[in-house]
Amino acid sequence: MYIGGLDIGTTGCKLTVFDKEGKQLKKSYCDYPVRRRVGAHEIDAKAILEGVFQVISDIAKDYPDIAGIGVTSFGETFVAADENGRPLCEAMLYTDPRGKEQCDILCEQLGVKHMAEISGVKPHEMYSIPKIMWLKEKQPEVFSQVKHLFLIEDFVIFHLTGETKIDYSLATRTMGFDIRKLKWNQEILHAAGIDSSLLSMPVPTGTMAGNITPEVAERTGLNRDTKIVCVSHDQIAAAVGAGVFDSETAVDGAGTVECITPVYDEIPDMEVMTRGNYAVVPYVIPGKYVCYAFSYTGGALIQWCTDTLAKKEKETAREKGTNVNTLLEQAYADENGEYPTGLLVLPHFAGAATPYMDTGSKGTIIGLTTDITVADIYRGCMEGVVYEMVLNMEWLKDSGIHFKKLAATGGGAHSEVWMQMKADMLNMPITSLETVDAGTVGSAMLTGIAVGAFAGLKEAAEVMVHKVKTYIPREDVHERYMEVYKRYAKVYGTVRSLM
């Protein structure tokens, strides 16, 4: 039996196929463009759909008899479509500035606290509902033709199966879903002027949507019996793919974005969560929830450092047959051992995520001297990303988190230096996992359960989640980092007014 995980991102989509023993057999990837201009950040939903059909067709050449494909995607972005699911306009990304005025009006009507208690998210224009309001107000001629309001997951599922179903975690990213009653909230939708009949039916994460249509089978080469599964928001899929199912462990997503995802056994104090701009999202296990503590620039900041400052070091690394990251890590260790750089790198190079959610904040490097090297700055950037996560954990203390260890996924999990740094700073063990694409693995795990390849989450994790190494915190090193962290915690408040 073969199972597939389809992971749809903002710049590309990938489909990976596994056998029921968890062995990865083939992967296919297709990218598509994002259009950013003043006042608008958009993506062509038709291009996303073409990319999905391309990767499915590519996989089907070798594995036409896949039992099921799970669909996971990025959140917030909605697709205004006609009765046949054809997009009526470009889709707005979460970074698109439109919708702020509409969000403010909604907050005046219903109140920030009240809306957050219902929806699990602090009202913000990044979510779907304010942007749908903007479309209705500013482009009524387009909105009058709308028969479906999809997010990317249910948009793709509709075109594969003809069904309109969206899982709970992605429904939460609209700002119009009740996380307690697990259904669309009519109070919010009525105030926003949105008819709930335009939205897909909310279903539990991992629900079978249906079989592919005959047209899809003919177009892609898949067997007509291939089933499509409503998986989740990409961060939820990554948590599943990391094998994290209880509140004792959190996920460290060490990708382009740095994200820690703790699990809660019940809905946490929403006042605490709202104060820190943390979303509360229904998890795959009924009654459990997760939140996202994240920085927009995790691996992206490290990439910026190597691309911008380490051009000479890149050449040296090529000559030595190594990579620039390893070269810079070793260069710092040779000179300084395990001591912190002392630099204060505020990693807001793409704005601040939680707890501030401040798009106007900028990156900052404090402590430069003529003795500072590229290796120092590189190491300082790594430290800055982790200090920001320490800050987030401080903010979340009152919310009831009590995890005692981390499971790390993403490209950054392959850096032993960064993993040890995280263990030392956060003062808890962190286990790196074999897979970089935990979202794809999580998607395949839930698909495997839906089609009968696995009996449940525990069996799926035993087969598909592979641990590589556990890094243990060192108390003396932790104390050194905390001395620097005391200064780091003051940086944002000190420099923000200067930006």
6-10, 138-142, 230-234, 357-361: which range is least confident on average? Answer: 357-361
Which residue has better confidence, 38 or 474? 474
Element at 264 (helix H, strand E): strand 263-264
Global pTM value: 0.91
pLDDT of residue 38: 66
Structure-derived torsion over alpha carbons of residues 295, 301, 303, 304, reported in degrees to the nearest 10: 140
CB-side exposure of 141: number of CA atoms within 13 Å?
0
∠ CA 416-419-421, nearest 5°, is 110
With a CB cutoff of 8 Å and minimum separation 6, the contacts of 249 are 263, 403, 404, 405, 406, 407
With a CB cutoff of 8 Å and minimum separation 6, the contacts of 444 are 3, 4, 5, 16, 18, 70, 464
Q: How many other CB atoms are found less than 10 A from the CB of residue 288? A: 16
Tell me, yes or no, if the two domains 2-233 and 295-434+467-498 fold the same way: yes
**φ/ψ (deg, to 5) at 29:** -130, 145
**φ/ψ (deg, to 5) at 254:** -95, 65
Q: How many other CB atoms are found less than 10 A from the CB of residue 113? A: 14
The residues spanned by each domain of the chain are: 2-233, 295-434+467-498
CATH placement of domain 2-233? 3.30.420.40
With a CB cutoff of 8 Å and minimum separation 6, the contacts of 50 are 30, 32
CA–CA separation, 370 vs 305, rounded Å? 18
Average pLDDT value over all residues in the chain: 94
pLDDT of residue 186: 98
Which residue type does 305 have? C
Q: How confident is the model at residue 77 (pLDDT cuts 50, 70, 90)?
A: very high
The pLDDT of 112-120, averaged and rounded, is 96
With a CB cutoff of 8 Å and minimum separation 6, the contacts of 165 are 154, 157, 200, 201, 202, 203, 207, 209, 230
Tens of pLDDT, residues 133-176: 999 999 999 999 999 999 999 999 999 999 999 999 999 999 99
Tens of pLDDT, residues 2-58: 999 999 988 899 999 999 898 999 999 999 877 766 677 899 999 999 999 999 999
pLDDT of residue 254: 86
Which residue type does 1 have? M
The pLDDT of 60-84, averaged and rounded, is 96
pLDDT of residue 360: 85
295-434+467-498 sits in which CATH class?
A: alpha beta
Element at 334 (helix H, strand E): helix 324-336
Tens of pLDDT, residues 238-286: 999 999 999 999 999 888 889 999 999 999 999 999 999 999 999 999 9
